[in-house]
Structure 1
Amino acid sequence: MADQKLFDEKTRRKLEQLMLVASRVRAGAMKGERRSTKRGTSIEFADYRDYARGDDLRRLDWNIYARLERPFIKLLEDEEDLAVHLLIDTSASMGWPQDGDKNLNKFLYAQRLTAGLAYISLATNDRLTLSTLGEGRPLQYGPIRGRGYGLAMLNYVSTLQTQGIVDLNTALKNYAVRGGRPGLCFIVSDLMSPNGFQEGVNALLGKGYE
């Protein structure tokens, strides 16, 4: 299988026992695994949000869908959600070394780290978005949610390839604008960019990403 070079079944089982934690949890999305420590009536309706692949269809408001022809999910008052954003650098510098032991390749390490974090996120039902940082138009996968997307995600990450040069400042600024609901953001990169990366990171922080 395409994902075997990333990690095996034993490693996946270990990853399922972990959880990503943010210093601030964003209100406004349905969760199954992650519950608030606040006391209250968790069955009370609070708001709506757009449907994401993997959401529980029992939370879909069919009346709203009939009127607007867009799927919306009902949110509950005392539930909390974590949006996870994984940005992986696919520029040519990540492909070093090209010769010798393939296990020492930078990009293979980046793929394993990205896939591991993504697998943890899906296992705990977080809202996951993956995107490339590279030359040309970024490739985005998600947002998705739920364990059922685990193997498809691994296959997606394993097929990514390196090429060209990336301007990290520009790429990160663009993601800050188009990335959707802010949350926990991981940048998997060697940070080898001609114009640096701090301005891009500041743009993400300014939009509320951690």
Structure 2
Amino acid sequence: MLLSGGGERPRKPEDLIDSRLMARLDRIDLRTRRIFAGRIQGERRSKTRGQSVEFEDFREYVEGDDLRFIDWNVYARLDRLIIKIFLEEEDLALHLVIDASTSMEAGSPSKLVFSARLAMALAYVGLVNQNRVAVSVMGLPGRTGLVRLGDRRGRRHVHRLGQFLVDTLWSDEVVRARAATGAPAPGGDFTGALTTLARSRVGKGVMVVMSDLLAPEGYEAGLRNLAAAGGYDTWILQVLSPGEIDPAVDVEAGLTGDLRLLDAETGRATEVTITNALIKRYRERLKSWCDGINAYCLAREMTHLLVRSDAELERVIMDTLRRRGMVG
């Protein structure tokens, strides 16, 4: 929230994802730690017993079982009726949620640009693996409520989804609202947006929320309502800029001495004097705050990860998210 974002705004889907990264992402798929039933068949293994071609186990025949699944070879050898059990191939719903409030403009690249690129990459993984992918944008300056792109499936929707992100996050109307001076434009209702998502979501799957969690009203109520709705394997990716993680980065860039800081979310101004002691206290407070978010999410069976906005996108996906089990 200290410095505005740098770099040009994305203007086309290719500014969010390139062919080299797509080639790398073609090798992975989404994963989930929970088992969900899809609406139509997709390319995902679940523990729902079904009629796919992948064999899992045997069990004794009981009256009412489908006779087609009796292993007649076993019957011929052992005179026992044994049923083959298969893993059912089911689809997975992926819902991506991007916080576009004014504080997300901090950093270079900005937290918003990084979040959009991460969302585009995860959407690509979902689409090419025939999973349902939906996107919601909350906190748009000058707008209230959510802007959504409903379920899409298949590689042919990659460009359409990327264009939706560009048109929604960087439309001329939104850019003007972000650039306006004075109090921030309405739109940053974190709690209301997540509550709406919790009430309106249909089915089950994986939800990924990308936000700095710097909501004036706090993060607790929104995340609590999202968790209470159940049904989703929910990831909270907290995106912060390098200067927010360690203000010493901005001090090296000339942000020092007596300063007047403007809160990007509320418009409130604060007079501060940047000193080494103040930076030390800030680091301690930030660690305590992030630890609290992590504990809050853990208690509600959500995964919280802190990500820098200048992180290498491929490494975040292929290393961090892979190790944590979102993709594989």
Query: Fold match, TM over 0.5?
Result: yes
Pick the structure with more strand per residue: 2
1:8 aligns with 2:13: no
1:199 counterpart (221, 232, 254): 221
Describe the shift of the 1:93–1:36 C-alpha distance in structure 2 as closer, same or farther (beyond 3 A). Answer: same
Which shifted more, 85-94 or 132-141? 132-141
Deviation at 1:167, TM superposition (A): 2.1
Distance 1:39 1:178 in 2: 29
Aligned pairs, number: 172
Structure 2 partner of 1:190:
212
SS of match in other structure, 1:104: coil
Structure 1 partner of 2:314:
none
Tell me if the contact between 2:36 and 2:46 (Cα under 8 Å) persists in the aligned partners: no
Task: Return 5+ residue gaps in structure 2 as ranges.
Answer: 1-10, 54-86, 179-184, 234-328
Structure 2 partner of 1:117:
122
SS of match in other structure, 2:134: strand
1:175 aligns with 2:180: no
Structure 1 partner of 2:58:
none
1:148 counterpart (153, 156, 168): 156
1:92 counterpart (102, 127, 147): 102
Deviations 1:55-109 (A, max 9, x none): xxxxxxxxxxxxxxxxxxxxxx933221111000111111225xxxxx5222111
Structure 1 partner of 2:39:
29
Tell me if the contact between 2:137 and 2:148 (Cα under 8 Å) persists in the aligned partners: yes
Structure 1 partner of 2:146:
138
Q: TM-score, normalised by structure 1?
A: 0.73
RMSD: 2.2
Which shifted more, 200-209 or 82-91? 200-209
Deviation at 1:7, TM superposition (A): 2.1
Deviation at 1:193, TM superposition (A): 0.5
Structure 1 partner of 2:109:
104
Task: Return 5+ residue gaps in structure 1 as ranges.
Answer: 44-76, 98-102
The code of the aligned residue for 2:124 comes to Y
- Higher Rg of the two aligned structures: 2
**Greater relative contact order (CA < 8 Å, ≥ 6 in sequence):** 1
Tell me if the contact between 2:38 and 2:92 (Cα under 8 Å) persists in the aligned partners: no
Tell me if the contact between 2:192 and 2:222 (Cα under 8 Å) persists in the aligned partners: yes
Distance 2:119 2:222 in 1: 20
Determine what percentage of the aligned residue pairs are the same residue: 33
Distance 1:114 1:151 in 2: 13
Structure 2 partner of 1:53:
none
Q: TM-score, normalised by structure 2?
A: 0.48
Distance 1:196 1:38 in 2: 38
Pick the structure with more helix per residue: 2
Deviation at 1:207, TM superposition (A): 1.5
